[in-house]
Amino acid sequence: MTSVRLDPETESLIKLLAEETGRTKSRVIRDAIWALTRHDTRATKTRSPYEAFAHVIGCATGGPPDLSERTGEKFSLSLSGRTR
């Protein structure tokens, strides 16, 4: 069991939210703590570069179908064209 002292404004907000959502004040506080925990965990978790960009990988459509083929040759041609 844990007791928390709240200022009157916060107590009023919790009471209002509980009434509007049909939850107890304890449930509102527990839900808020869980939501905060999930948010902070995702924000502080170290992610790999792949994880950071996974939502955009493969989302593009169109363009030439062979963009990933012979990239070294294409890059060399691009550089040799700049020197001339």
Q: What is residue 60's three-state secondary structure?
A: coil
Let me know if residue 66 belongs to a domain: no
C-alpha 50 chain-centroid distance: 14
The Cα–Cα gap between 67 and 13 comes to 56
- Residue 83: inside a domain: no
**Quick one: pLDDT at residue 45?**
66
Q: Is residue 16 part of a domain?
A: yes
Counted domains in the chain: 1
Is residue 39 assigned to a domain?
yes
Domain housing 30: 1-59
- Domain membership of residue 75 (yes or no) is no
Grouped pLDDT means (10 residues each) for the chain, 84 residues:
91 96 94 84 69 82 78 84 62
Kindly state whether residue 76 falls inside one of the protein's structural domains: no
Measured CA distances, 47 to 38, 40, 57 (Å): 15, 14, 15
In a domain, 46, yes or no: yes
